[in-house]
Amino acid sequence: MSEHEIYLGIDIGSTKVAAVLAKPKKLSNHTMLQVIGMGSARNEGVHRGNINNPIKTKEAIRQALEMAAKKADRIDLLSHNLFASVNVSGTHLATTSETGSVACHAVGVQGRDVKSLFETMQQTFDSDTNQIIHLLPLKFSVGEQHEIIDPVGHTGLKLSGDFKIITAKKSALHQIKDSLQKANLSVNEEDGFSASPLASGLAILSEDHKSLGVVLVDIGGGTTDIAIYHDGLLCHTVVLPFGGNHITNDIREGCHLTHESAEEAKIFLGETNPKNCSLNTLLVIPTAEGIPPIEIVARNVVLIARARLREIAALVLAEIKKAGYEHKLRAGIILTGGTSKIKGIESIFREITGMYVQIGSPKNLERSNSALDSLITDPSYTTALGLAWSSVKPLDKRIEKTTVTPEPEQKKPSSSWSIPGFRKSTSQESTIKEISTFIWKGLTQDDIKGHDDY
């Protein structure tokens, strides 16, 4: 890892594309991320996490990247075919729990045995229609020893492991790659993709959150992405086909507005408690060109948004119960995504779930007195920040990323555990991420609750 490397995270959402350019900073043994550029652009080419118009999506990607490059004062990056880490969302994402085993090469478990187990799982659960984007270990067994976190060094002839496998439709991944290529960007099929809630977790979750047990809820425009961690491990993920766009559509229909006017009303929503909203309070909403603005009762917008947010909170609670983690998550719920900016959303989730709720904030970022500081804390950029982090920070702390500089004539490794690199920039000032590999470290340490009067 070099501080001259630049990492690019591209969050392709249902309402916008967000881009983050960042550099790693090493402080003692601690890695920080210095954000040098951020940008976003409206996207009309995605529906509920799935790209249905690659051309519009391409334009949004390019606009977001151009904005980020300008803020980074690195317009030269636009002339290169950069590699990006990109998110995957939508209901086509699937999570399964699987177990596999291999015979050890010797009596004691070695790193190569763990790698062999990973490769076996990859080959066994590969298919023509779905592609594995995350293969995450849970607990291991060596011989008669069970519930092992790190198996390297344990004595036995057979290594078994429980895994969480997250897959995506190959057709959906092809659409993402096609949109990126049209924008002069590339992504590696094997490890350039990241499920949205896992990427967001890299930006805002600490190891303490995961150890205590936490639910990350990323409420975007078209989907709500959920990731549940317990005892430091990912235990459950799901994508719900509801998000901020549904609040906008409800406001549009309930208040007889255009989509743009309804979005304006939602953005300026300063309250979600009808008791705090007088019937005399009006929102002046712009409409079409040449048409006078519309005055609507703010309380009506509050009631509509409140009802939809309560529904989303109830669906999150149902997923927690379904996964079997009710009353087990001491760190509660952490909200992020653009919709989490609605004032009072924490109290709604707290009321419905009975859990501690907070808005997530990014961790381990190097601050500077720049215009980017206000954007860094914007929940709309959480996933893009996490994608930038994914270039240096593993999803599982037991798996370490190390940079390997290839020999001039050496071909890129074909192993399923190689990490794609950013192609080298022709600039002498900046190198865009070299080839990396995963290496096992080894020997390291329902329903709506309650009654709503409205």
At 343, is the secondary structure helix, strand, or coil? coil
Asked, for residue 223, whether it belongs to a domain, the answer is yes
What is the count of structural domains for the chain?
Answer: 2
| pLDDT, tens only, 171-188 | 999 999 999 999 999 998
pLDDT, mean over the chain: 85
Among 323, 344, 361, identify where a domain stops.
361
Is pLDDT at 445 greater than 60 in this prediction?
no
Residue in 134, 6, 94 with CA at minimum distance from that of residue 392: 6
- With 0-12 CB in 10 A as exposed, 13-18 as middle and 19+ as buried, what is 121? buried
- With 0-12 CB in 10 A as exposed, 13-18 as middle and 19+ as buried, what is 408? exposed
Q: Are residues 211 and 155 in the same domain?
A: no
Residue 213 is part of a domain; what is its CATH number?
A: 3.30.420.40
Asked, for residue 216, whether it belongs to a domain, the answer is yes
Residue 111 is part of a domain; what is its CATH number?
A: 3.30.1490.110
Asked, for residue 123, whether it belongs to a domain, the answer is yes
Show the domain range for 130: 95-169
Asked, for residue 90, whether it belongs to a domain, the answer is no
Is pLDDT at 365 greater than 60 in this prediction?
yes
Residues 20 and 84: beta-carbon distance below 8 Å: no
In this structure, what token pair is assigned to residue 358? 């907070």
Q: Are residues 234 and 339 in the same domain?
A: yes
**Number of separate helices (H) and strands (E) present in the chain:** 11, 23
Q: Are residues 354 and 267 in the same domain?
A: yes
**C-alpha distances out from residue 109 to 117, 122, 151, 158, 450, Å:** 11, 20, 7, 8, 52
Alpha helices in 213-358 (DSSP H): 244-255, 259-267, 298-323, 345-353
Q: Are residues 148 and 256 in the same domain?
A: no
Model pLDDT, residue 27: 80
In this structure, what token pair is assigned to residue 162? 């429980």
Tell me which range, 238-242, 314-318, 430-434, is most confidently predicted by mean pLDDT.
314-318
The span from the CA of 197 to the CA of 217, in Å, is 7
In this structure, what token pair is assigned to residue 368? 């500077």
Residues 344 and 301: beta-carbon distance below 8 Å: no
Model pLDDT, residue 402: 43
Model pLDDT, residue 169: 93
Please, what sign has the CA dihedral across residues 381, 387, 393, 399?
positive
Among 317, 339, 361, identify where a domain stops.
361
Q: Are residues 165 and 217 in the same domain?
A: no
Q: Are residues 329 and 223 in the same domain?
A: yes
Query: Residue 256: pLDDT band by 50, 70, 90 thresholds?
Result: confident
Q: Are residues 146 and 220 in the same domain?
A: no
Q: Are residues 152 and 298 in the same domain?
A: no
Q: Are residues 242 and 347 in the same domain?
A: yes
Residue 312 Rama label (left phi>0; alpha psi -120 to 50; beta): alpha
Q: Are residues 155 and 227 in the same domain?
A: no
Is pLDDT at 380 greater than 60 in this prediction?
yes
Asked, for residue 161, whether it belongs to a domain, the answer is yes
Asked, for residue 191, whether it belongs to a domain, the answer is no
| pLDDT, tens only, 138-161 | 999 999 999 999 999 999 999 999
Model pLDDT, residue 268: 75
The span from the CA of 132 to the CA of 170, in Å, is 9
Asked, for residue 379, whether it belongs to a domain, the answer is no
Q: Are residues 303 and 222 in the same domain?
A: yes
Asked, for residue 420, whether it belongs to a domain, the answer is no
| pLDDT, tens only, 91-139 | 889 999 999 999 999 998 999 999 999 999 998 887 889 999 999 999 9
Q: Are residues 237 and 296 in the same domain?
A: yes
Among 143, 169, 195, identify where a domain stops.
169
